Amino acid sequence: MSTTATNDSRRDQLALLGGPGTVKAAAPENWQHGPNEIGKEEIAACTAALRAKVLFRFGRDAENSTVTQFERLFAKKTNVSHVLAVNSGTSALICALIGVGVSQGDEVIVPAYTYIATAAAVLALGAIPVLAEIDESLTIDPRDIERKITSRTKAIIPVHMRGVTCDMDSIMKVARQHGLKVVEDCAQANGALYRGEPVGSIGDVGAFSLQHFKIITSGEGGAITTKDRTIFGRAAVYHDAAYAFWMEGKAAPDAIEEWKAMCFLGENYRQSELHGALALAQLGKRDRILDRTRSIKRKLWAACEAIPGARMEASNDREGDCGISLAFLMPTSPQAVQVYDALRAEGAFAGTIFSKQIPNRHIYYHWDYIMGKRTPHTNGFPWSVGGKETNVKYTADMCPRTIDLLERTVVMPITQIMTDSYVDDVVAAIVKVARLL
Ligand SMILES: *Cc1c(COP(=O)(O)O)cnc(C)c1O
């Protein structure tokens, strides 16, 4: 306790201990990114799509299709040759996994901290998710990936969580050494850069989500990004039951021949023209959103560094991360709780990822159907095939390092609509907590 906090200087006391709160400016009402930007551009784009009265992407020529326009702009921004728009992040992951040739019974390594959909997409193909620990960046630990590789491993899904990039150099090295494919899950990191390269252009393929809670949104939606023509072709063929047929006259004849030759079972993960219109309008706003969130994160980061005992998230690229949240680790879980309680009492928004009360479906042991090995198949597939059980097991304590790190983490969400005065007040709150706690 600071010696300056005397009875007659209550002003200089933590709000947690009865002092006045620091944050006076209004907090954002809604912490989302894309939805806060919906304005005249989105309304005009959707209205134009409705006026055209063709909501089927293959019902329009390529030049007029909003979905095609989105794909072209997204390819340019992501520095890849191929983009396929789909109807969700989950379907993007499924198509990406099909693209790299993941098959039934293959093992795919996923982080123990990610949204449940990452592991669910693996299961949807009849492949088996194998969990790896995270490191102090709160993204997958490349050293643990190496420990989890077996003769059945086919691919790795590094997930750029909370806009923070994974250690892609180490992950690509491990993957190349073992002949594994890399599917980047970029659902939470649209626009992030790793050493100057856009995420989604580093692994074999990237999967993005345009769902409501992501950085830009079309309500629901997604996309895959790749530089590999065959991966794209396989994903495209799978995403539409008649892809080569619809593309007749819309792509180069040799590409159509290639898709016809590889043609296999397809489903329907198409994006509609209305979603394409929204996605395209939002994509035009993405980099401005990120400029703002990154600049706010730099300010909060500098203040948080002064909190005694705090260890800032081990960022793999501080310039390139999206800046949509900030995390730091305290030495113990009670200390993390104390810091976020103190910040909240000052009026700053902070929390922990870990909560015993709220089952956070980003933490593996809350993935109930995976822990319980439940799929729609009544015969135990894919963990059991032909009556034979696989060796893959799941227990609540199987990733102790992930639990330890998440228990000690304090997170502060960041949105582009935080005003300068709100940011200044939050910085003042952090400075006060750092000095007095
Ligand atoms: C949101 C999310 C997904 C799934 O995206 P949907 O569009 O909701 O299907 C996958 N992975 C991560 C890390 C996500 O945050």
> What is the per-residue pLDDT across 182-220, written as a single tens digit (0 to 9) for each?
999 999 999 999 999 999 999 999 999 999 999 999 999
Mean pLDDT, residues 348-368 taken together: 81
* CA-160 nearest atom, ligand 1: 13
Radius of gyration for the chain, computed over Cα atoms and rounded to the nearest angstrom? 23
CA of 388 to the centre of ligand 1 (A): 32
Q: How far apart are CA 381 and CA 292, in angstroms?
A: 46
Q: How far apart are CA 167 and CA 264, in angstroms?
A: 35
Q: How far apart are CA 356 and CA 296, in angstroms?
A: 30
Q: Is residue 286 scored above 80 in pLDDT?
A: yes
Enter the pTM of the model: 0.96
Query: For a substitution probing ligand 1, which of 209, 224, 324 has the most ligand atoms within 8 Å of its CB?
Result: 209
Residue 277's φ and ψ, nearest 5 degrees, are -60, -45
**Cβ–Cβ contacts within 10 Å for residue 55, how many?**
16
User: What residues flank ligand 1, with Cβ below 6 Å?
Assistant: 88-90, 114-115, 117-118, 159, 185, 187-188, 209, 211, 222
Q: How far apart are CA 345 and CA 55, in angstroms?
A: 49
Place 1 in a pLDDT band, splitting at 50, 70 and 90: very low
Task: Tell me which of 11 and 361 has the higher pLDDT.
Answer: 361
Residue whose CA is at the smallest distance from ligand 1 atom 7: 89
Q: Is residue 26 scored above 50 in pLDDT?
A: yes
Q: Report yes or no: 49 and 274 within 8 Å, Cβ to Cβ.
A: yes
Query: For a substitution probing ligand 1, which of 32, 91, 114, 115 has the most ligand atoms within 8 Å of its CB?
Result: 115
Q: Report yes or no: 136 and 329 within 8 Å, Cβ to Cβ.
A: yes
Q: How far apart are CA 215 and CA 58, in angstroms?
A: 27
Does a cis peptide bond (omega within 30 degrees of 0) precede residue 382? yes
Mean pLDDT, residues 412-431 taken together: 97
Per-residue HEC secondary structure of 159-182 comes to: ECHHHCCCCHHHHHHHHHHHCCEE
Q: How far apart are CA 70 and CA 270, in angstroms?
A: 13
Residue whose CA is at the smallest distance from ligand 1 atom 1: 187
